[in-house]
Structure 1
């Protein structure tokens, strides 16, 4: 498995050959986010229900949701820093440059403390996502949706993409600033109408209370439903094990690589891979994937299994944020994943 590739373990179809709902998502990506065929979404193209729902949550919260775009980028950057996802931190740095906040972008890129206390509070809240929310209650769908979206996206990226694709040092800083060109700067400043991604959704699920009646709720419900399809790739025992392990996790402590915390690769490769995706996606190795990704499993299956682990972690964060228990597991769907 070639670590120099963007896609570590899958071979997505070229974006230019996309049709149907996948092409529709790529078109909205280009128009609303400013990135054409972003690898974060291309890697999900093997599973259109996940692709459409992940895009919808990000679009309806970060781009179209209530609240300042710069402030929500700070939340997203905080989440990405906590989850050790340099690819996503770089993306938020580029987008902050595009808004004209060059000093703030450089601060985030280098792990510094923002000069503006409000930005500092938002960055810190993104890192921990507790109940002390530094934004108006009416902006909850935008800010909480953004934070949870990136808890999911970070895990997809860390498990399935090559994270460090840019050189380090001053050269990297110049590249990141250069990526925020005039076209991207215009995109991040324009108003994005809410709800336009919802017709693309291929799954449905109950909206969480924190989202109210906003489009973020429908998008998050769809993502939860699509991601839980991956449980059907595991035995009932293994799926329950992953859920219990993540529910009991404090959301911070790294997952032990040996001992009782992580199933053996040779005996329970699917449970091991899903649990790594949830609790330490940056620790997924070639050997972990190779142990499970054998026929009849395909790219489609791998994306769904990683998404199952990721949504378990998202629900763990959500439960700590809201004080509610994680959502009950949906009925098993077996081969639907």
Structure 2
């Protein structure tokens, strides 16, 4: 993924990166490229890490729902790397059928009706006039996490 940027190593990280890097490692097991590619701009990396952490990694919404949203939006954005990353996380939550359905653009095969509805909603986010966006399949309490995941 990184061809034209030099990642900033942990040893040479400034204070902001030195704070973010261990948190990213704890959450993902490694310093993964979607974060390290922003390291040359530490404040940008910190903002992206904050948005990811607060929407995808904490809260009341089940992780597989958030990963399904992220995988669907990644598919819409035509980012195969991102689709792979999020469907791998879906597999880690044991949502194997959902991961396969999203990666194969076969959303109708998603067995969990709640996830299927949210994937349909996520798919509609590219169409601002879609009526589903006015009546999302999640509660007001869940909205910050789900919408945040879609835009993160």
TM-score of the pair, normalised by structure 1: 0.40
State yes or no: 1:138 paired with 2:132.
no
- Counterpart in the other structure of 1:20: 15
- Counterpart in the other structure of 1:269: none
CA distance in 1, matches of 2:150, 2:6: 28
**Paired residue secondary structure (1:84):** coil
State yes or no: 1:78 paired with 2:72.
yes
How many residues were matched structurally?
143
Cα root mean square deviation, aligned: 1.6
TM-score of the pair, normalised by structure 2: 0.85
Any conservation in 2 of the 1:71–1:122 contact (CA below 8 Å)? yes
- Structure 1 position 16, deviation (Å): 5.0
Question: Deviations 1:260-314 (Å, cap 9, x if unpaired)?
Answer: xxxxxxxxxxxxxxxxxxxxxxxxxxxxxxxxxxxxxxxxxxxxxxxxxxxxxxx
- Structure 1 position 94, deviation (Å): 1.0
For 1:37-186, what aligned pairs fall within 5 Å after superposition? 37-113=31-107, 114-129=110-125, 130-149=133-152
Moved more, 120-129 or 46-55: 120-129
Moved more, 66-75 or 87-96: 66-75
- Structure 1 position 116, deviation (Å): 2.2
Decide which structure has the larger Cα Rg and report it: 1
**Paired residue secondary structure (2:59):** coil
- Counterpart in the other structure of 2:26: 31
List gaps (5 residues or longer) in structure 2. 126-132
- Structure 1 position 19, deviation (Å): 4.2
List gaps (5 residues or longer) in structure 1. 1-5, 150-337
Any conservation in 2 of the 1:96–1:102 contact (CA below 8 Å)? yes
- Structure 1 position 59, deviation (Å): 0.5
Any conservation in 2 of the 1:15–1:37 contact (CA below 8 Å)? no
Any conservation in 1 of the 2:68–2:99 contact (CA below 8 Å)? no
**Paired residue secondary structure (2:142):** helix
- Structure 1 position 146, deviation (Å): 0.9
Any conservation in 2 of the 1:79–1:127 contact (CA below 8 Å)? yes
Any conservation in 2 of the 1:65–1:142 contact (CA below 8 Å)? yes
